[in-house]
Amino acid sequence: MPVGFGDDSGLDDGVITEPPKGGFVFRQVTFAPDSEWDKSLGYSDSKGQLRGTVPAEEADGVDGFHYTDSVDIVTILSGELVSVMETGETVLKAGDTIIMRGVNHAWCNRTDKPVVLQSLMISAAQ
């Protein structure tokens, strides 16, 4: 930080899931209801399974547990999403914001409607 405006966009490599060292990623994401996808496959992007994925057998049976080397500011725009962490769950509704600091977590959409959120992921890599 700060990232120069003349720097490479990084888009030549496809989807940027995690922020580059010293950088950030801002995105808007739609989560389908849990009933519409197999969370046991974990989270992935066009490059494959995300780094930081925790196998369910190491996460008390929770599918989709993962962590990132970033500080993430997540705001729910519409719908209801459950943030699952090692210490419990938090229900997030439209307008709610949560800050994740590199903790193991998973997302659950236990409703029958999609959830739309925006996130700002800021690299915590030294």
- Greatest alpha-carbon pair distance for the chain in Å reads 45
Inter-residue contact 81 to 42 (CB < 8 Å): no
The whole model's pTM is what? Answer: 0.81
Burial of residue 68 (number of CB atoms within 10 Å: 0-12, 13-18, 19+): buried
**Digit-coded pLDDT (tens) for 28-49:** 999 999 899 876 666 666 666 6
DSSP state of 66: B
Within 8 A by CB and 6+ apart from 119, the residues are 25, 26, 27, 29, 72, 73, 74, 75
For 65-115, write each residue's pLDDT tens digit.
888 889 999 999 999 999 998 889 999 999 999 999 988 888 999 999 999
Which residue type is seen at 8?
A: D
